[in-house]
Amino acid sequence: MNIIVTKDEQEMSQKAADLLQQRNKPESECVLGLATGGTPLGTYQELIRRYESGEMDFSNVTTLNLDEYVGVPKSHPQSYRSFMQENLFKHVNMDTRKAHIPDGQAVDLKEECARYEALIEEVGPPDIQLLGIGHNGHIGFNEPGSSFESETHVVELADSTREANARFFTSIEEVPTKAITMGIQSIMKAKKIVLIASGEKKADAIQKLLSQDVSEDFPASALHRHPDVTLIVDLAAYQTV
Ligand code: GLP
């Protein structure tokens, strides 16, 4: 695992944008694996800035998002589809028909998981997968205890995850209890993975990750088994190490 420690969140976002940009070559289709949450917002702003200044082009970009809440309409402001639309897609010249996110409103969720897993094979795997990390080490919505063999599946969200995400909703009751997420094995298919973390709230999770212990109790530890992972972490998240 390569580790880049940055002075702050802004520099973390710039470095992550650099890695995404490097994979986006004009001569071929580029597949970006994308994440939601607060952490990637600065990276998306940086990608938008690079598009607006003519440094980046998104016409050859296909995206595969990690996860989506179950039962939240796509048009709901907190659906991950809306999140991606508002924070990246609508600002750049990408064809949103090539922007893939699991459908959390599918009538048959099992079938939707199988469809999405097949899609990862069909259009992917991502040239690069951007990841955040939950306080409990979750990646995507793979909570502690998730099998490292897991493919796209429906998960029951941990109370701590619902509490952490309640800030995006008006109350904790509104936070969905389930989500569809790419599994650990699906995530590990990416050619390159970049995990970003900032702020002291993530310091414990980063310390655990850097302890090198590999266990299903700490989902992000699976990344130690991937050949090409870069961790970009700001000083505040790295401080207790
Ligand atoms: C969410 C997402 C993850 C994200 C994590 C951390 O639940 N499903 O993909 O990495 O929580 O979010 P944040 O970046 O807001 O701390």
* Residue-wise pLDDT tens digits, 38-71: 999 999 999 999 999 999 999 999 999 999 999 9
Ligand 1 atom 12: residue of nearest CA: 37
Mean pLDDT of the chain: 95
Contact by Cβ (8 Å): 3, 34: no
Residue 138 vs residues 11, 74, 208: alpha-carbon distances, Å: 23, 23, 12
Quick one: pLDDT at residue 28?
86
**Which residues are paired to 155 by β-bridges?**
179
Q: Judge if the beta carbon of residue 134 lies within 6 A of ligand 1.
A: yes
Quick one: pLDDT at residue 25?
85
Own/partner pairs, 167-173, CB within 8 angstroms, 24+ separation:
168/78, 169/78
> What pLDDT digit, counting tens, does each position of 171-183 carry?
999 999 999 999 9
Mean pLDDT, residues 217-233: 98
Quick one: pLDDT at residue 145?
95
Question: What percent of the chain stands above pLDDT 90?
Answer: 93
With 80 as the cut, is the pLDDT of residue 135 above it?
Answer: yes
Quickly state the pLDDT bin for 239 (edges 50, 70, 90).
Answer: confident
With 60 as the cut, is the pLDDT of residue 207 above it?
Answer: yes
Could you confirm whether 224 is annotated as catalytic? no
Q: Judge if the beta carbon of residue 66 lies within 6 A of ligand 1.
A: yes
Could you confirm whether 67 is annotated as catalytic? yes
Q: Judge if the beta carbon of residue 65 lies within 6 A of ligand 1.
A: no
Distance 23 CA to ligand 1 centre (A): 23
ipTM above 0.90, yes or no: yes
With 70 as the cut, is the pLDDT of residue 220 above it?
Answer: yes
Distance 129 CA to ligand 1 centre (A): 14
Answer yes or no: pTM beyond 0.90: yes
With 80 as the cut, is the pLDDT of residue 218 above it?
Answer: yes
With 60 as the cut, is the pLDDT of residue 241 above it?
Answer: no
Degrees (nearest 5) of the Cα angle 60, 66, 67? Answer: 130
Quick one: pLDDT at residue 198?
98
Q: Judge if the beta carbon of residue 64 lies within 6 A of ligand 1.
A: no
Could you confirm whether 93 is annotated as catalytic? no
Q: Residue 167: is it exposed, middle or buried by C-beta count within 10 angstroms (0-12/13-18/19+)? A: exposed
With 90 as the cut, is the pLDDT of residue 240 above it?
Answer: no
